Structures are given as C-alpha cells and as structure tokens.
Chains A and B, each alone.
Chain A
C-alpha cells in the first residue's frame, strides 16, 4: 500500500482548437483541426496538412516579453499549458516554491533555416577552424539556449517559480506519459508534494515532415498520420497536500509503468492495471499512431490484455499527432469527460520499442 497517494488537481492544454475547454468541445463535435500547413511549403511531402495552433498567442503567458526570444514553439506551448493548469488547480505562490517540473518533448525547433544559412556560409563541418570560425560565427549564440531539449521544463519552472526537482524526458511520443509517471513517482517517493507535468511538442516543422516521410509515415495510412503541435500539462499532487489546500481533484494516479521491448505496450498496460487493483477499464486512451504497423501492434497489445475490449478514445484523427503532446492532450480531454463519475482510465502509448501506460481513477476515489 502506497503511503503517499497521487492526484491530478489541474489540467491545461493548447491545441489546434485552442485551450482545453475549446478542444473538448471540438472533439465532442468531432470537428477536424487539420488544414494545409501555413508555416512552410509542405507540398513536397506525402501529407500537406498539419495540426497548427494558429490562434495561439504566447505573449500573455510570459512575464517578460524578451523571454520569447529564447523560447521555441514547444517551450511557448508548454509554458502556456502549464500556467493554464496552475490556474485550474487554484495554485497560489506558496506550494509552487518547492514544486517540481517534468515535461516530455521530442523535437526541438532547431531553427533549421538559421542552421542552413550558417552552414551555407562555406565552412567545412569536418574542419574545426571552418566549423568554429565560419559556421558557428554565423549562428546566434543564443541558438543553444533556444534549442536545448530541457528548455521547456526550464521555462515552465521560471514562469511558475517552481524551484523543486526539474527534468525533461525526450522519448518521442511516449515522453508525455512518462513525464506524468515520473511526476507520480517523485511524489510517492517524497521528493516533491506538487509537480507540473505533461507533454509539449511541435511536429509542424520541415525537418519533422522530412524525417517522417523518410520513415514512410506520411501519406500511407487510413486515417492518415498528420503531424501536429500542442501541449497538455497537469498539476500532479500528493493527495493530503491537495486536500489541505482544498484543491479540485480530477483523478487519482493509480498505476504507471514504462518498459522497452517487443511486448512493451502489453506489459505496461498489464503492470499499470495490476497496480490499480482493477482491470475493468472504462476508457482506453490509445496512442493512435496512424501508421499501419503501429496500429496493428496497438491492436494486438490491446487484444492480449483485455478479454473484452474497453471503450476506446483518441484525438489524433481530429487534432493530428502532436508527438509527445498527443497522449497528454487525449488524457486531458478524457479526464474532463469522466471527472464526475468513478471511471478507470488507461492512457497507453507506444507499441514496439518503448511504451508507457498510466492508469487514473476519476470520481474522487478514496
């Protein structure tokens, strides 16, 4: 029996539909946010559409406007979603001082145009003088500060003044769920009473499209794989800590597992459910990676875990695949759908390779 129980007390999201409430409404109405990419010419790729957060304005979410110059797209999305989650969780300044932050993300912006211009300056990357003298001299010295993987977690901590443990998980589309699981473990282990955790990512970038095209992901599936951007961040909290400050409780984290290997998804779903002490899942948020071999592997794992398949939920067909943000966004919407009744949610992501599953019980379970 765990002595420290973990609850979710707030959720915030930025998606192509807007904030979490706007996203939940659009998903309920089964609208599509997918549209031709506006940020670059995607016509050479097998998929010309993307899930872009076109109405998103990062400025209100940063206390200092100049912070934006060292915040790439996923960092801006993470900060906005985190601050929305903090408002939803009714956080004041006091509990945040020792709060932790863990954000899952995969792709940094990398500012490929700026890099290309620098490389085009004529230096030879294999020659240290050419690399340092001609290429790096044309790259803004702040480039690294913008593109380091941990910048999303760092800026969330800065903006929320969260001075507890801080970490970043970069395992692609399972990273957001792993961030939630890591947050729960920190709290169970007593490292923190409150953690800001979730996923933020930007897949609507030329090099992401190029990489996915090379991998055969674009243009081959039905429904199609469409890259997207977004963030969903949660306030994860020790239950007595939440009670003491009369925080709203959306759900309790009752199980979490992460694994690698051919059976990783099946294994993590099994482990998370075993920890929950219950196998009757009311809603399964599946990763919904619309690539035929991934989809089949997800189906196989689900079939092997459940004698009777649970009700399934996914957002990617409407929002696109927001990489590390995709599963947290689906979870945030699903929590809103289930919060008033006791329901067991299982958010499972990954298929072959690595996987992570998190089980949550809604409805104020004691």
Chain B
C-alpha cells in the first residue's frame, strides 16, 4: 500500500527528495527544472532518486516507468515523440524549451525529466490504487 499524499504536498515532498539527492538548495528546485540540465543529475542520481521515492512512498517503481510521466515517450517512435512533445509544450510552458532549438529527439528525452514528471507519475499511481 503506497502512502502518496495529495498533489500539493506530493510536489513539496518530491522537491525535498530531489534537492537532497542532488545536494541542491530547495529554492533551486522548481516544478519545471530539468533534473539533468538545471540540477546536474547524472545516471547514478536517477537510481538514487528512485530509491528515495520508493522509500518515502512505500512503493516499488519499475525501471523507466517513472520517467514516462504523463506520456509514454521513451517507448514511442519518432512521429509519436513529436506529437508528445507538442502536448508537453502545452502542459509545461515554463520548461526551458529554448534548449532544443532543433526540436526534441529521442536521445534528449532524459533532459525533459522534471519534478513535475515525477509528480505526474506518482499521482497516476495514487489514482490507480483507488
């Protein structure tokens, strides 16, 4: 049984977890901060963040699922990625899309991961549990 709180509290807790994992001041971690580009996350940091989330919310997070967020982009083909990115741009206007002047390619997907990506995934899990 998970212990995922309501969305506002969930976002606050995820920001705390990400800030701790990446040794960042809380104020640097915003809902649309890119974990990689803005907060310096590397591959081992993602492993650490998943473990911290699992411990905090008493749940198992299957590999890669977390990073799918509200869209299943990592498993999509190029055309689907572009359609997904259009949707993401509408949902996340505060994200620094200017970092991708030539568009988003599949290899760029890890750079799109934000606190909101995590919160979206966990919110879906909470809904599914009910």
In the complex, whether B10 has a CB less than 8 A from a CB of chain A is no
Q: List the A side residues contacting B22 at CB < 8 Å.
A: 66
Query: In the complex the two chains form, is B44's CB within 8 Å of A68's CB?
Result: no
In the complex, whether A69 has a CB less than 8 A from a CB of chain B is yes
In the complex, whether B91 has a CB less than 8 A from a CB of chain A is no
Query: In the complex the two chains form, is A142's CB within 8 Å of B23's CB?
Result: no
Q: List the A side residues contacting B40 at CB < 8 Å.
A: 64, 66
Per the bound structure, the CA–CA distance linking A359 and B22 in Å amounts to 45
Tell me whether chain A's interface is mostly helix, strand or loop, or mixed: helix
Q: List the A side residues contacting B48 at CB < 8 Å.
A: 69, 140-142
Q: List the B side residues contacting A142 at CB < 8 Å.
A: 44, 47-48, 51
Partner of B23, one of A68, A138, A145: A68
Per the bound structure, the CA–CA distance linking A137 and B55 in Å amounts to 9
Binary per-residue interface labels of chain B (40-64) against chain A in the complex, 1 for a CB within 8 Å, 0 otherwise: 1000110110011011000010000
Query: In the complex the two chains form, is A141's CB within 8 Å of B51's CB?
Result: yes
In the complex, whether A44 has a CB less than 8 A from a CB of chain B is no
In the complex, whether B21 has a CB less than 8 A from a CB of chain A is yes
Per the bound structure, the CA–CA distance linking A65 and B21 in Å amounts to 10
Per the bound structure, the CA–CA distance linking A66 and B55 in Å amounts to 20
Q: List the B side residues contacting A68 at CB < 8 Å.
A: 23
Q: List the A side residues contacting B23 at CB < 8 Å.
A: 64-66, 68-69
Q: List the B side residues contacting A69 at CB < 8 Å.
A: 21, 23, 48
Q: List the B side residues contacting A119 at CB < 8 Å.
A: none
Query: In the complex the two chains form, is B47's CB within 8 Å of A141's CB?
Result: yes
Q: List the B side residues contacting A141 at CB < 8 Å.
A: 47-48, 51
Per the bound structure, the CA–CA distance linking A65 and B47 in Å amounts to 18
Per the bound structure, the CA–CA distance linking A365 and B101 in Å amounts to 63
In the complex, whether A88 has a CB less than 8 A from a CB of chain B is no
Return A132 CB to nearest CB of chain B, in Å.
13
In the complex, whether A115 has a CB less than 8 A from a CB of chain B is no
Return A135 CB to nearest CB of chain B, in Å.
14
In the complex, whether A70 has a CB less than 8 A from a CB of chain B is yes
What is the chain A residue whose CB lies nearest that of B45?
A66
Known A-B contacts A68-B23, A69-B21; A140 and B51 likewise in contact (beta carbons under 8 Å): yes
Per the bound structure, the CA–CA distance linking A228 and B78 in Å amounts to 58
Most interface-central of B44, B52, B60 (chain A CB within 10 A): B44
Per the bound structure, the CA–CA distance linking A140 and B54 in Å amounts to 10
Q: List the B side residues contacting A64 at CB < 8 Å.
A: 23, 40
Q: List the A side residues contacting B54 at CB < 8 Å.
A: 137
Per the bound structure, the CA–CA distance linking A70 and B47 in Å amounts to 13
Interface residues in A140-155 (C-beta closer than 8 Å to B): 140-142, 145
What is the chain B residue whose CB lies nearest that of A65?
B23
What is the chain A residue whose CB lies nearest that of B25?
A65
Per the bound structure, the CA–CA distance linking A66 and B42 in Å amounts to 10
Binary per-residue interface labels of chain B (1-42) against chain A in the complex, 1 for a CB within 8 Å, 0 otherwise: 000000000000000000001111000000000000000100
> Could you give 28 example pairs across A and B, Cβ below 8 Å?
A64-B23, A64-B40, A65-B23, A66-B21, A66-B22, A66-B23, A66-B24, A66-B40, A66-B45, A68-B23, A69-B21, A69-B23, A69-B48, A70-B44, A137-B54, A137-B60, A138-B55, A140-B48, A140-B51, A140-B52, A141-B47, A141-B48, A141-B51, A142-B44, A142-B47, A142-B48, A142-B51, A145-B44
Binding site for A on B (CB under 8 A): 21-24, 40, 44-45, 47-48, 51-52, 54-55, 60
Binding site for B on A (CB under 8 A): 64-66, 68-70, 137-138, 140-142, 145
Nearest 3 interchain pairs by C-beta = A65-B23, A66-B23, A141-B47
